[in-house]
Structure 1
Amino acid sequence: MATESGPEETKVSDRGMVTIPAALRRRLDIEAGDKLRWTVDDDGDLSVEVLHQREGVFDDFEPVDAGETDAVALESEFGAE
């Protein structure tokens, strides 16, 4: 994939990590918490799909009091509506 100014390159670290260039992160609206889905086709070409998962992952869960804290009473402190 290329940005408007040309192709971007990054180096793979010894731990297998890469950095997504800032211009691509901005262009594709990639932020912390998003996931990337990596796919290799039969020709060996790699593609990456951005899966936006920043917030709302646990919106369907209700707070449960496990006995150590009053989770229901503290729910509002963590941004729940």
Structure 2
Amino acid sequence: MSHDVEDETTVNDSYSVTVPAAVREEAGIEAGDKLRWRVDDEGRLSVELVKQRYGAFSDLEPVDIGEQTDAAEDHDLVAGDY
């Protein structure tokens, strides 16, 4: 993060909160990310951003093994069950 950003939000009747836009932008929070909430022994609240890793394998190149595969269909096969 390049600098401190501070803002306030209100807890609504269903105990939900909205992360303020300036905080989202500075922290790089995106839809699908998770926030880990902690309260220490002195009652201080902290929030940690837990980034989701969508597309973690998107940079990998496919390998041609000489035959077409279907991972969705083949994922439960045990060696020798072909």
Short-chain TM bin:
0.5 to 0.7
Structure 2: stretches of 5+ with no match in the other structure = 58-69, 75-82
Shift of 1:64: 1.9
Deviation string, structure 1 residues 1-42 (Cα, Å, up to 9, x no partner): x51xxx311011111100000000000000001000000000
Pairwise mapping of residues 48-63 of structure 1 onto structure 2 (< 5 A)?
Answer: 48-56=47-55, 63=71
TM-score of the pair, normalised by structure 2: 0.62
- Cα distance change, pair 54–33 in 1 and its aligned pair in 2 (3 A): farther
If you compute each CA radius of gyration, which structure gives the higher value, 1 or 2? 2
Structure 1: stretches of 5+ with no match in the other structure = 67-81
Check whether the contact 1:30–1:50 (CA below 8 A) recurs between aligned residues.
yes
TM-score of the pair, normalised by structure 1: 0.63
Q: Which residue of 1 aligns with 2:23?
A: 24
Task: Give the percent of matched residue pairs that are identical in Structure 1 and Structure 2.
Answer: 51
Q: Which residue of 1 aligns with 2:7?
A: 8
Question: Which letter maps to 1:43?
Answer: E
Q: How many residues align?
A: 59
Structure with higher helix content: 1
